[in-house]
Structure 1
Amino acid sequence: MKKGQLLYEGKAKKLYATDEEQVIWAEYLDQATALNGARKDEIKGKGELNNQITSEIFLYLSDKGIENHFIEKLSKTEQLIKKVEVIPLEVVVRNLAAGSFSKRLGITEGTVLPEPILEFYYKEDALDDPFINEAHIAFLKIAAPEEIRLIKEAAEKVNQELIRLFQQIGLELVDFKIEFGRQADGTILLADEISPDTCRLWEKESGASMDKDNYRKQLGDLVPVYREVLQRLTKISV
């Protein structure tokens, strides 16, 4: 497999073409952002940790029957993924109140939600990724009703499996953000990444943040926290 031209450079990764049309070469970057990119810093070692954590989690989800774009990990910072047209939706699933949800609705952080709450955000940096509903999705022609049904079902399954996974390593899955994409034949796949960048994880015993909130709230260095998450995941996958 040969790495080709740069196709896309985002906040956290670069995507390259390969000599196979339906395969993309992803490279994770040592970059952290907050406030929709308004705050940005280079953090050495972050890229390789997110790549390895995402690889472990996607392999786990594949084993549980959840179809996704992951093919294989190539190196500490690189992986091969299936080519998809990313659907411009951020799908957020919440199990406990935290972050913007708590601020928006005035609910104390840590409040356990009776049922998981699924939210959609329009993936558009120029608009600060606004919160939208299914009527907005239809109006903007982002996805068809059947696609939204499939996305919601997949998000519920991902939530169930991630809760089980993180429970095994002593972490509470507070909430998370995932994205989906369409393959050339229209098949919907789980895409992007799943890491402490995209999940809010709390240590069960201490309640400590084991995720990107350490950067957002300037609580401490991300690298030791992400490394701890990876070490725990690696132990149960051996």
Structure 2
Amino acid sequence: MARRKKVYEGKAKILYEGPEPGTLIQYFKDEGAPGPSSEESAAAEGKGVLNNRLSEFFMAGLNAIGVPTHFIRRINMREQLVREAEIIPLQVVVRNFAAGDLSNRLGIPEGTPLPRPIVEYYYKDPRLNLPLVSEEHIIAFGWASQQDLDDIIALALRVNDFLSGVMLGVGTRLADFRLEIGRIWDGDFMRLIVADEISADSCRLWDLRRPEGAPASEPGPMADVYSELARRLGVLPSNVTHATKPTLIN
């Protein structure tokens, strides 16, 4: 078997050249990726397998409702075949409830519902610890155009509607999540797609199924979020070991 050429390796995934031009193989590691303002990471045996299944579930669901993603198909327990895309150097964060960094910056108590979903942008440069940036920064430095930003917001809000509904249906609240957006070309036509992954690593999830005696109005973090979310969504593989909690968006 020919040795595959590695294209990129991050904290949570490895990208290899795909079998055909314009494709990549995305391999999910057990290590974690930190949130926009966190230097922590999570590592748990079997986490990559679960995140592969979860990302497949969410990406395939988005494809089915007409939200374009890079996902083509799952290859095996840890790998997906995806479309190659030029990644815009932004982490796009959608917030439904105050938590983490937003609570700290603005003094809003954690758990407060926001008046509407808020979309934030973080510049993807690990040396700078992913700083929060404005649309003015993004346009001025050429990371994306105004039309790109309009399309990114539209994509992010559609993803938010989909994920929020799916999570609520299995007793889970989506407080916030992060996305990466990529550009692909069909001839001379460019369009934006959802890329990277959507998994327990990229979402802040609160459990609405509270233990007996706990106030229903005070949801808390989901215990063992990888396997529990996979179990609730019906995608839990039978041979995956216990995994612990992920690093969430701060």
Q: TM-score, normalised by structure 1?
A: 0.88
Match of 2:204 among 200, 207, 213: 200
RMSD of aligned Cα (Å) = 1.7
Query: Which residues of structure 1 form unaligned runs of 5+?
Result: 211-219
- For 2:43 and 2:53, locate their aligned partners in 1 and report how far apart those are by CA, in whole Å: 18
Structure 1 stretch displaced more, 102-111 or 182-191: 182-191
Whether the aligned pair in 2 keeps the contact of 1:27 and 1:77 (CA below 8 Å) is yes
| 2: CA distance, partners of 1:26 / 1:53 | 14
Deviation readout 1:131-179 (Å, 9 max, x if unpaired) = 0111000111001111111111111111111111111111011011001
Q: Percent identity?
A: 39
What is the match of residue 73 of structure 1? 74
Number of aligned residue pairs:
222
Q: Distance in 1 between matches of 2:118 and 2:61?
A: 23
In the TM superposition, what is the alpha-carbon distance from 1:42 to its structure 2 partner?
A: 3.5
Q: 1:226 to 1:42 in 2, by over 3 A?
A: closer
Structure 1 or 2: larger helix share? 1
What is residue 11 of structure 2 aligned with on the other side? 11
Cross-structure match for 1:178: 179
Amino acid at match of 1:98: A
Q: Which moved more, 1:168-177 or 1:41-50?
A: 41-50
Alignment gaps of 5+ in structure 2: 211-218, 236-250
User: Which SS does the other structure have where 1:65 is aligned?
Assistant: coil
- Quick one: higher RCO (CA 8 Å, sep 6+), 1 or 2? 2
Task: Tell me how far 1:3 sits from its aligned partner.
Answer: 7.2
In 1, distance between residues paired with 2:98 and 2:165?
19
**2:153 is the alignment partner of 1:152:** yes
* Shift in CA distance, 233/41, structure 1 to aligned 2, threshold 3 Å: closer
Cα deviation, 1:45-94, whole Å, max 9, x if unaligned, reads 11001111000011111111111000001111110100001100111111
| DSSP 3-state at the match of 1:195 | coil
